[in-house]
Chain A
Amino acid sequence: AQTVTQSQPEMSVQEAETVTLSCTYDTSESDYYLFWYKQPPSRQMILVIRQEAYKQQNATENRFSVNFQKAAKSFSLKISDSQLGDAAMYFCAYRSARGTSYGKLTFGQGTILTVHP
């Protein structure tokens, strides 16, 4: 079974600065997807960024980028120019690309991000 670990229960950052959230995962599969989701106080899950394991290039979405290290099974999220609206709980998630677990998301424990003005 796959596992996802977020070792930082809480992180904080000053507005306009950069913060990195850590995520590691364990899998024996070679084909999979990784995601970062944001859950603001409204509790609506919002997809932040997605990475296909077969792609070597790190995904970027505006101020959000990832550092995907497949051999190390590491998938960190970097938020640049942090904004107050970035304050939320962030979840790292894994999804198999095939097999009986196809489509199922396995989530990490979450990291609560606080943004200070």
Chain B
Amino acid sequence: GAVVSQHPSRVICKSGTSVKIECRSLDFQATTMFWYRQFPKKSLMLMATSNEGSKATYEQGVEKDKFLINHASLTLSTLTVTSAHPEDSSFYICSARTSFGRNEQFFGPGTRLTVL
């Protein structure tokens, strides 16, 4: 099946710094990728939809200047958390949608961000 990777799997940073998370589709091209945030034992909350070659579409309440998304190629989308604060600590998950077959979404393994 289709494989999506995320890097890093875990990151700890100091308050005020920026952190970049990569999402890659390893064996397929993904014109659309999605970024989710998940708190412990809670549901996934969609943050933004990332389309290759165009600006990301953010969900209501998500600060686009805080969470920068770049979808530079058909296999890579990045999420940069700028000027991170402790309240940004969370589990971030990406998914990539195939453009063939059933247009399924395949999820990455997630990135745990801890801001000190």
Determine how close the nearest CB of chain A comes to the CB of B9; give it in whole angstroms. 10
Within 8 A of B (CB), among A56-97: 89, 91
Q: How many residues of B contact A (CB 8 A)?
A: 20
CB pair A103 B110 closer than 8 Å: no
Which residues on A sit within 8 Å (CB–CB) of B67?
Answer: none
Known contacts A89-B41, A110-B42; is-contact A43 B109 (Cβ 8 Å): yes
> CA A109 – CA B105 in complex, angstroms?
19
CB pair B93 A45 closer than 8 Å: yes
- Per DSSP, chain B at the interface is strand
CB pair B32 A105 closer than 8 Å: no
> CA A47 – CA B2 in complex, angstroms?
12
Q: Does A112 sit at the interface, judged by CB under 8 A?
A: yes
> CA A91 – CA B105 in complex, angstroms?
14
Which residues on A sit within 8 Å (CB–CB) of B102?
Answer: 50
Determine how close the nearest CB of chain B comes to the CB of A71; give it in whole angstroms. 25
Interface size class of A (residues with CB under 8 A): 10 to 19
CB pair A91 B107 closer than 8 Å: no
Within 8 A of B (CB), among A28-64: 42-45, 47, 50
CB pair B107 A45 closer than 8 Å: yes
| Contact of A103 (CB < 8 Å), options: B41, B42, B49, B93 | B49
Q: Does A107 sit at the interface, judged by CB under 8 A?
A: yes
Which residues on A sit within 8 Å (CB–CB) of B93?
Answer: 43, 45
> CA A44 – CA B94 in complex, angstroms?
11
> CA A98 – CA B22 in complex, angstroms?
28
Which residues on A sit within 8 Å (CB–CB) of B38?
Answer: 43
Instruction: Give me 19 A-to-B residue pairs in the complex whose CB atoms sit less than 8 angstroms apart, sorted by A's number.
Output: A42-B109, A43-B91, A44-B107, A44-B109, A45-B44, A89-B41, A91-B44, A103-B32, A103-B97, A103-B105, A104-B34, A104-B49, A105-B46, A106-B46, A107-B43, A107-B44, A109-B43, A110-B41, A112-B41
